[in-house]
Amino acid sequence: KRLILIGPPGSGKGTQSPIIKDEYCLCHLATGDMLRAAVAAKTPLGIKAKEAMDKGELVSDDLVVGIIDEAMKKPSCQKGFILDGFPRTVVQAEKLDEMLQKQGAKIDKVLNFAIDDAILEERITGRWIHPSSGRTYHTKFAPPKVPGVDDVTGEPLIQRKDDTAAVLKSRLEAFHRQTEPVIGYYKNKGAVAELHAEKSPKEVTAELGFLLRQNS
C-alpha cells in the first residue's frame, strides 16, 4: 500500500504511523523526523532547514522533495510506504505524482486526520518524544511509565523545540494556507478518506484499520 497521512500538527499522524507500518509492512517516511535528524546532525540540509522549522514555517519544496525522492528508492519502501507530513503543498503533490509515474506506481489512499484546531494546543504542549525511535508520549494522554524516560530503552525523552503554543500558531497557519489545498487536490482524484482524529488513539486506530481494509 502507498498511503499519505495529512492533518494538522498534533492530529496523530506520528502516533498512528508505527501501528499501520507494522501491520502492513510499510516504510514510514516522515519528513519532519528526517529534517529534525538532519538539524541535530548539523548536515548541510539541516542547516538550511533549521530556521524555517524553528519558526513553524514550511521548509522549501526543493529540499523536502529531494529527501523524499531519495528515501522512496530504498528497497524497504518498494512494497509500500506511509508518507507522514508530505506532501504539504500542491507543488509537492505534483512532484510526488511525477516520481510515482516514473515507477508506474500510484497512491492508494489519502487519510485526512480531521480535527478541530482548539484541541491541538494541549496535545502539542504535552508531547514528549524519544528521538532515536520516534516513540511519542503525552503527559496526560499517553504518559511514559517513568516521567521523562522512554519505556523501552530507559533513555531520556525530550520536547520538540517547535512544540510551544506560539510556534503552534504559525504551524497551524501554514497548515490551513498551504496544506489544506493538498486535500482538495486529492479529493479531485477521489482518493481521500476522512478520519475522526479527535477520538481516542485506540478509536482512531480502529477507524484506520476499517478504512484500509475497504476495497483492498
Task: Tell me which residues touch ligand AP5 (CB under 6 A).
Answer: 7, 9-15, 31-32, 35, 52-53, 56-59, 64, 85-86, 88, 92, 123, 126-127, 136-138, 141-142, 171, 200-201, 204
Catalytic residue, candidates 36, 50, 127, 135: 127
Number of chain residues interacting with Zn ion (CB under 5 A): 1
- d(CA 144, CA 157) in angstroms, rounded, equals 9
- Annotated catalytic residue: which of 2, 13, 109, 135? 13
Q: Choosing among ligand AP5, Zn ion, none, which partner's interface includes residue 31 (Cβ < 5 to 8 Å by kind)?
A: ligand AP5
Neighbours of 167 (CB within 10 A): 19
Site string for Zn ion, 143-172 (x = CB under 5 A): ------------------------------
Q: Catalytic site residue 127?
A: yes
Q: Is 123 a catalytic residue?
A: no
Closest-CA residue to 213 (of 142, 69, 108, 72) = 108
Helix (H) or strand (E) run with residue 100 in it: helix 90-103
Active site residue 213: no
Cα gap 74→95, rounded to integer Å: 18
Question: Which does residue 135 bind out of Zn ion, ligand AP5, none, counting CB within 5 to 8 angstroms by kind?
Answer: none
- Least separation in angstroms between residue 10's CB and Zn ion is 8
140 is catalytic: no
Minimum separation from the CB atom of position 211 to ligand AP5 (A): 15
- C-alpha cell read off for 25: 509492512
> For residue 181, what is its C-alpha cell?
489545498
Q: Is 8 exposed, middle or buried (0-12, 13-18, 19+ CB in 10 A)?
A: buried
Catalytic-residue membership of 2: no
Least CB distance to Zn ion at residue 98 (A)? 25
Q: How far is the CB of 73 from ligand AP5 (least distance, A)?
A: 18
Q: How far apart are CA 73 and CA 138, in angstroms?
A: 33
Give the C-alpha distances (Å, rounded to integers) separating 69 from 21, 62, 65, 87, 108: 19, 10, 6, 12, 18
Q: Which of residues 10-29 bind Zn ion (CB under 5 A)?
A: 14
The residues annotated with a catalytic role in the active site are 13, 88, 127, 160, 171
